[in-house]
């Protein structure tokens, strides 16, 4: 979300591989000879997911050396549990095409094993619950992963009501140093599109959901947002200091994983650019354009979480953020980035000249 007025309201992109301090897992080698350590999470449809330094990354199998590809094919051929990914022997349970250890094939809520003909819900990460328990199971507010309330850590339950799985919590942005590193990457991606850095000073703050909601309510906005941009401008019409100056403040929800924080910052930096250029457009066009920048940032990420967040952007039924994104994507497909930015730039209208 955005507010504008004179007083209105791998951090790294791992291209496979960076050496990491991981005490466990296999050493992997790319076709270029680069090496790194990571734990194999899954191998599906020629896509390999590795856990590297606590974060999941997905790569095409073609990136790996011949010995690693042979190891992957052997690994894939073995029968493995859909929960723990360890090999399964004769004693096994089956649901659809997936097999499980009997001890793993249990509901995350009641912890009882699934029986024949019982209805089961499964998330994108392999978690299982009885269908009647689906509304009771905690789900990560970022990735949608289900987890057991009984075995969860207290820090997975935020004071503002948010929930986080352990994977997202391990990667949470909770300090300004990490936030600055994420912002640096986001600005680089935006410069590649032809969007310059803001001319005015920009301050970023990690804040609570409650603080964002309070400001949104004060500005007569809507929704439970992950980020908020506030721009103050000052225009001098005469003298040696004639012109307009800007001051920007970007609030980012504390505790989001790096990938989600990247998406949110890209969106908010889009508002900063539109504010400095006084772009006059409908809310769906404004938020849709900013979501295009979120998608651009997410397309540079290789993790499964980035894939989930991209899907959420594409499938959103929100009339402003979802429909606006799809409409602006059509414009992007027609005009390209340079053409779309040029088209938006023609809509520059200084607030003093806008109709009241």
> Which CATH number belongs to the domain containing residue 71 in this structure?
2.30.30.700
Structure tokens belonging to residue 82: 């859909």
- Clarify whether residues 73 and 157 are in a common domain: no
pLDDT of residue 19: 31
pLDDT of residue 17: 32
DSSP code of 351?
G
pLDDT of residue 241: 64
pLDDT of residue 221: 67
Alpha helix (H) residue ranges in the chain: 66-77, 166-170, 176-192, 209-218, 258-276, 283-298, 304-315, 321-345
d(C-alpha 354, C-alpha 280), whole Å:
9
pLDDT of residue 333: 97
- Clarify whether residues 244 and 323 are in a common domain: yes
Structure tokens belonging to residue 1: 């979300």
pLDDT of residue 53: 78
- Clarify whether residues 214 and 122 are in a common domain: no
- Clarify whether residues 323 and 215 are in a common domain: yes
- Clarify whether residues 280 and 243 are in a common domain: yes
pLDDT of residue 240: 67
pLDDT of residue 5: 38
- Host domain of residue 73: 26-77
Residue ending a domain, among 59, 77, 95, is 77
Residue stretches of the chain with pLDDT short of 70: 1-24, 220-223, 238-242, 351-356
Question: What does pTM read for this prediction?
Answer: 0.82
pLDDT of residue 16: 34
- Clarify whether residues 238 and 117 are in a common domain: no
d(C-alpha 94, C-alpha 128), whole Å:
13
- Clarify whether residues 200 and 225 are in a common domain: yes
Question: Domain tally for the chain?
Answer: 3
- Clarify whether residues 33 and 98 are in a common domain: no
- Clarify whether residues 340 and 224 are in a common domain: yes
DSSP code of 103?
T
Residue ending a domain, among 148, 170, 192, is 170
pLDDT of residue 12: 29
Residue identified by tokens 């020629």 is: 46
- Clarify whether residues 236 and 342 are in a common domain: yes
- Clarify whether residues 116 and 101 are in a common domain: yes
């Amino acid at each position: 979300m955005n507010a504008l007025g004179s007083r209105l309201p791998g951090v790294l992109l791992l291209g496979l591989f960076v050496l990491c301090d991981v005490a466990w897992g296999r050493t992997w080698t790319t076709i270029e000879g680069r090496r790194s350590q990571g734990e194999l999470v899954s191998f599906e449809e020629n896509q390999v997911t590795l856990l590297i330094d606590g974060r999941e990354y997905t790569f095409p199998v073609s990136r790996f050396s011949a010995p690693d590809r042979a190891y992957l094919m052997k690994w894939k051929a073995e029968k493995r549990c859909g929960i723990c990914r360890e090999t399964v022997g004769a004693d096994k349970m089956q649901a659809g095409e997936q097999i499980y250890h009997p001890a793993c094939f249990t509901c995350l809520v009641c912890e009882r094993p699934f029986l024949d003909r019982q209805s089961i819900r499964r998330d994108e990460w392999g978690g299982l619950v009885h269908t009647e328990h689906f509304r009771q199971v905690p789900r990560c507010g970022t990735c949608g992963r289900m987890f057991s309330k009984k075995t969860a850590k207290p820090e997975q339950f935020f004071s503002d009501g948010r929930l986080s799985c352990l994977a997202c919590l391990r990667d949470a942005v909770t300090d300004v140093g990490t936030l600055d590193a994420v912002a640096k990457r986001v600005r680089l991606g935006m410069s590649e599109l032809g969007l310059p850095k803001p001319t005015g000073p920009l301050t970023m703050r990690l804040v609570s959901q409650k603080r964002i909601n309070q400001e949104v309510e004060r500005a007569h906005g809507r929704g439970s947002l992950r980020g908020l941009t506030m721009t103050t401008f000052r225009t001098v019409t005469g003298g040696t200091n004639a012109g307009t100056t800007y001051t920007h403040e970007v609030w980012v929800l504390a505790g989001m994983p790096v990938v989600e924080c990247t998406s949110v910052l890209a969106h908010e930096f889009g508002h900063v650019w539109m504010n400095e250029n006084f772009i006059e457009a409908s809310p769906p066009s404004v938020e849709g354009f900013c979501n295009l920048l979120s998608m651009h940032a997410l397309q540079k990420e290789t993790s499964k979480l980035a894939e989930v967040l991209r899907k959420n952007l594409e499938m959103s039924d929100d009339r402003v953020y979802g429909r606006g994104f799809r409409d602006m994507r059509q414009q992007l497909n027609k005009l390209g980035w340079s053409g779309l930015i040029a088209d938006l730039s023609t809509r520059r209208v200084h607030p003093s000249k806008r109709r009241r």
